[in-house]
Amino acid sequence: MSAVNITNVTVLDNPAAFLNPFQFEISYECLTPLKDDLEWKLIYVGSAEDDSYDQLLESVLVGPVNVGNYRFVFQADPPDPSKIREEDIIGVTVLLLTCSYMGQEFIRVGYYVNNDYDDEQLREEPPTKVLVDRVQRNILADKPRVTKFPINFHPENNEHGEEHPTQDPATETIENGDQEALPSSPNPPDP
pLDDT tens digits for range 176-186? 333 333 433 33
Give residue-wise pLDDT tens across range 49-65: 899 999 999 999 998 89
pLDDT at 95: 97
- pTM metric for this prediction: 0.81
Residue 162 pLDDT exceeds 70? no
| Distance (Å) of CA 188 to CA 1, 95, 168 | 10, 22, 11
Residue 1 pLDDT exceeds 70? no
CA atoms of 170 and 177, how far apart (whole Å): 20
Give the H or E element holding residue 123: helix 120-124
Q: Where are the domains of the chain?
A: 4-180
Give residue-wise pLDDT tens across range 144-159: 999 999 999 987 776 4
* The domain over range 4-180 is classified in CATH as 2.60.40.1490: yes
